[in-house]
Homo-oligomer: A and B are copies of this chain.
Amino acid sequence: MTKKARQADTVNEPSEGAVGRRVTMDKLAELAGVHKSTVSRALRPGTTFYQSPTAQRIRAIADSVDFQPDRYAASLRTRRTGTIGVLVPRLSDNLQAVFYESVVRACTSQDIVALVAVTGDDPVAEQHAANALLGRRVDGLILTSTRVNGEYPAQLAQRDVPYVLALRHNGTDHSCVVSDDRAGGYLVTQHLLELGHRRIGIIAGPDHASTAVGRRQGFMDAHRDAGVSVEPDLVHKSMFRWQDGYDIATKWLSSANPPTAIFAVNDEMAFGVVAAAQTRGLDLPGELSIVGYNDIPSAARPPMPLTTARMDIGALARAAVDSLRARIDGEQTANRTIPVTLVVRKSSAPPSFSAR
């Protein structure tokens, strides 16, 4: 018998992995001189019994021996695991990392755990990951993947799997938690128009991302309301990557009649635009105003603090978790929208005379 195994002195020694805790409800019941079922009741809030002296005494004993119930055993009975799954395309993207971190925090305080699956934007991988998570018996799913427009959510609904769409939505679903992208796009564009810009380019993201579509809609609406027409050449679809911002900005800036301002629908791409402009030696923001979206941590940094739209990602994550919890409990939930504010920094200014 190894030294390591010594402290587990049952004959039928559990092979390995029996980490830490040893106290069971049975032992606790013995200690308290009651039946284990009584212990079980004493530990679950909500009943009137929970308040009784007996129950309090039992809990005191439980605390004193640092009792931790075995959730696996409990889950076997209750069919609930106290876990949720979160599907994200990638964690190398700051916004998604922060979102997931916020979800984890929100969950921790409610004693639930959030399992993540990284899908890399691949619909097949996404499905696979979701199934793996479901195989792990998560109680529900938070989906942030880009291509939620597909049939996948419908499948989930059909299987009675509770889920919410976060940072994304599609037209049909009533379980979305998003920021007000249209309003955000509107705010940004209005800001630029008020500064005097009349040729504003938008690096608009992909059509399959509802966030991008909403921001573009806001861009269009702001132009319409201001009576300014949008130049079709200055509306450019893209992915969400830095490189897209860099490439598209480079193209525009080397054209005969470049825009005086560029709205990139996320900060990453806006940084790409900044880099493209700097590479060409442009004076910022005089010769080119640049606005992003999301207000990621690096957006505020010198030498070119970025004007951008901000949402409270923590609030969004909490709303998503709350919404999912409600759905797991069988309640209906409505869509939720988180407000967006404009953060004006150094990267936007009136167009210079020469650039006009």
Contacts and interface: CB of A to CB of B under 8 A. Distances in A.
A31 to B, nearest CB: 19
B19 A134 contact: yes
A302 interface: yes
A297 B92 contact: yes
A21 interface: yes
5 contacts: A4-B160, A16-B330, A91-B100, A108-B129, A108-B132
A315 interface: no
A325 to B, nearest CB: 11
A270 to B, nearest CB: 13
A129 B104 CA distance: 11
Interface in A129-166: 129, 132, 134-140, 159-162
Contacts of A271: 301
Given A101-B118, A105-B118, A135-B68, A80 B17 contact: yes
A256 interface: no
Given A72-B75, A92-B297, A139 B278 contact: no
A101 B94 contact: no
A14 B91 CA distance: 36
A40 to B, nearest CB: 16
Nearest to A85: B113
Interface string A61-79: 0000000101111011011
Contacts of A136: 71, 113
Given A136-B71, A246-B302, A19 B161 contact: yes
A275 B140 CA distance: 44
Contacts of A70: 76, 137
B72 A76 contact: yes
Contact of A160 (B20, B108, B129): B20
Given A15-B79, A70-B137, 17 more contacts: A16-B79, A16-B80, A16-B328, A17-B79, A19-B139, A91-B104, A92-B97, A92-B101, A94-B94, A97-B97, A105-B118, A108-B132, A113-B115, A113-B136, A246-B301, A275-B303, A278-B303
B160 A19 contact: yes
A20 B161 contact: yes
A113 B94 CA distance: 22
A280 to B, nearest CB: 9
> Max chain B CB contacts within 10 Å: which of A17, A21, A135?
A17
Contacts of A279: 302-303
10 tightest A-B contacts by CB?
A: A17-B80, A91-B101, A97-B97, A14-B79, A91-B97, A18-B79, A278-B303, A68-B135, A279-B303, A72-B75
Contacts of A138: 19
Given A139-B19, A160-B19, A275-B303, A81 B72 contact: yes
A7 interface: yes
Contacts of A272: 301
